[in-house]
Amino acid sequence: MTEFANMNYNRKSNYRQVILLDENGYIHDSCDSLFDSSQFTDKSIGNYFYFLASELPTIWASEANKISYNRMQTTQACLPGFYDFAFSKAVINGKRHILWEIFDYTNVYKEYIKIQQIKNEVSIHEQYLLRNKNQSVDGKPAHSENFFQSEYIAKQRKESDNLVYRLIHKEKEIGTAPAEAGLIKLNELKLHLKLMIEEIDQFVNQVKDDEFTDIYIKEVVDDYFNKEIPRHPDRIKLIYSDSLPDKVTVNKNVLTQIISLVCKDELNQIDYKSASLSLGLVQVNNDNNPILNIDYVEQLSSDINLNEDSAKRVIKLSILKSLVSTLGGRLISKYSTDNHLFGALISLPLKNC
């Protein structure tokens, strides 16, 4: 086994690859989790990744322990997405090398871009409402003479499935919400988007830590709910399957964040009837890596405004799905406006080896 392997950098992962480079950009070793490095045998990888061609000399000369580049987009056929790069120096077999760590956050950063686009829509709509509020005539909102703003609002009225639109107006009150009420809802949405961006950043940092440890999962989940959700025994039913062992190997921080995303905000509200969270373990096709199933179901109150509620949940579920897929898992939504039901079934590998 090579010294590179002994350093545990070749551990298989569906979102992380580590490559050992020399100062000229030639690959000496790689775990090949994301792409087959043999295509670059006896070739400087800098000739194919122009970013590396320009930055490698700087990285090599730097005295920093690690240099990171976040939210990088590449169009190379072997890496066609959005990534975080981290470069550090190492001495392998007595020779100096650069360790290039690649974190594939393509799905997560696509959601990040969507949120930024929604934030732009919020800002435009906010400007429109403020203009109408400040330029009223005889107590009635003045019509905007700005072509772009008028066209934007017309588009909003046609696209009733637009998230910003759904959050600002009830279907029966399209175009009639007062400016004050609209601005309040926009501020609520801005706060929600801010929290979602913070969740993405937190997830990215926690996954990079890559700390899989043995935990007593029932104790961890119980402690989380005792701390984060007051009076949780009255607000949620925790169900542990007989298949769930006392101890599992998992990234504790990532696990608690996923549980938090799927249910914390809802359980701190008062407009639901009942909720349950079930955890169980399944073994698929005799695979060495068991799957942790996290099943959350919430019965919503019949008087909740689903038009506003669904918009926020759509954003959150979409983000959560991207986080879970990055870890090699999957999410199945159980959201039903007809039955006033919200839920998600998350299947998460306990270990990516």
At 109-149, the pLDDT tens digits run: 998 888 888 888 777 777 777 776 665 544 444 444 443 44
Tokens of 287: 């695979």
Which candidate, 270, 163, 250, 153, places its Cα nearest to that of 209?
250
**Domain extents for the chain?**
3-104, 108-184, 211-349
Which pLDDT does position 102 carry in this prediction?
94
What is the average pLDDT across 95-104?
Answer: 92
Which H or E run contains 341? Answer: strand 341-349
Residue 342 and residue 335 in contact, taking contact as beta carbons nearer than 8 Å? yes
Give the torsion through C-alpha atoms of 303, 306, 309, 314, to 10 deg.
150
pLDDT at 169 over 60: no
User: ∠ CA 73-78-81 to the nearest 5 degrees?
Assistant: 25
Pairing type for strands 237-240 and 272-282 reads parallel
Give the residue with greater pLDDT, 137 vs 303. Answer: 303
CATH class label, 3-104: alpha beta
Which pLDDT does position 272 carry in this prediction?
56
pLDDT at 93 over 50: yes
3-class SS shares of the chain: helix, strand, coil, % to 5: 45, 25, 30
**Which of these ranges, 104-118, 257-271, 309-323, has the smallest mean pLDDT?**
257-271
N- to C-terminal Cα separation, the chain: 17
Give the residue with greater pLDDT, 211 vs 146. Answer: 211
Tokens of 318: 């979409």
Nearest-angstrom CA–CA distance, 109 and 104: 9
CATH class label, 211-349: alpha beta
pLDDT at 246 over 60: yes
**Residue located via tokens 């009223």:** 136
**Which of these ranges, 159-163, 212-216, 227-231, has the smallest mean pLDDT?**
159-163
Percent of the chain with pLDDT over 70: 71
Nearest-angstrom CA–CA distance, 140 and 127: 17
Which candidate, 296, 298, 294, places its Cα nearest to that of 330?
294
| Entry field: residues in the chain | 353
Which pLDDT does position 173 carry in this prediction?
43
Which pLDDT does position 352 carry in this prediction?
41
CB atoms within 10 A of CB 155: 11
Mean pLDDT score of the chain: 77
Under the banding of pLDDT at 50, 70 and 90, the label for residue 307 is low
Give the residue with greater pLDDT, 287 vs 151. Answer: 287
Nearest-angstrom CA–CA distance, 132 and 229: 40
Give the residue with greater pLDDT, 93 vs 159. Answer: 93
Which candidate, 83, 75, 175, places its Cα nearest to that of 125?
175
Q: Is 302 exposed, middle or buried (0-12, 13-18, 19+ CB in 10 A)?
A: exposed
pTM: 0.76
- The reply to whether 211-349 shares the fold of 3-104 is no
Under the banding of pLDDT at 50, 70 and 90, the label for residue 164 is low
Give the residue with greater pLDDT, 72 vs 263. Answer: 72
pLDDT at 310 over 90: no
| DSSP-assigned letter for residue 35 | S
pLDDT at 58 over 70: yes
Which pLDDT does position 174 carry in this prediction?
39
Which pLDDT does position 148 carry in this prediction?
40
